[in-house]
Amino acid sequence: MRTSPNIIITGTPGVGKTTHAELLAESTGLQHLSINKISEERNCTDGRDEELQTWIVDEDKLLDAIEPECLAGGVIIDWHACDLFPKSWIDLVVVIRCDSTLLYDRLSARKYSEKKLDENMDAEIMQVLLDEARDAYDEEIVVELWSNEGEDVEANVGRIVQWVDNWKKDSGR
């Protein structure tokens, strides 16, 4: 049994996953697992997609690499996909959302290619990640949080901190 919960923070690239995950880790002491970094550091990549300028993640290798931490509990998984993680590992799925005009500016600032920018804008407008989360996990553990302005980050993280405290109380830990 885990003594701390495992949380996924997901959403389209640029919505603010890492910003939330870092503040949440600082506020709770949970461990931030940036799947981007871990895939590279722990050799879980299967080549590079040059057109989209991203690593292709070998999901089986990735799951093997993070399994011990996930079974121990207390991790914040930060990744733009969520349905690969076993249901039994996950206590809460937070889908960060962002207004599409703001997202456009954030992604343009990253100098994404037009194709990558268009794909991500479409994904956010079509709420692809929210639907993926709702399909993969029980509805009651999936939470949609909007993050358009700086103060939204603190408010959202405050809500998740409260949820972590309640989880610990409810499970007597």
Q: How far is CA 11 from CA 43, 64, 80, 96, 128, in A?
A: 24, 23, 5, 5, 9
The neighbouring-strand residues paired with 95 are 10, 144
**With respect to ligand DAT, which residue has the nearer C-beta, 28 or 156?**
156
DSSP 3: S
- What length is written for the chain? 173
Task: At 130, give phi and psi (nearest 5°).
Answer: -65, -45
Among 4, 6, 19, 39, binds ligand DAT (CB under 6 A): 19
Per CB under 6 A, contacts with ligand DAT among 53-72 are none
Please, what is the minimum distance in Å from the beta carbon of residue 171 to ligand DAT?
Answer: 29
Q: Quick one: 14 or 74, whose CB is closer to ligand DAT?
A: 14
- 31 within 8 A of 76, measured Cβ to Cβ: yes
Show the site string, 108-147: x = touches ligand DAT by CB under 6 A, - = not: ---------------------------------------x
Q: Contact residues for ligand DAT (CB under 6 A)?
A: 11, 13-19, 106, 147-150, 152-153
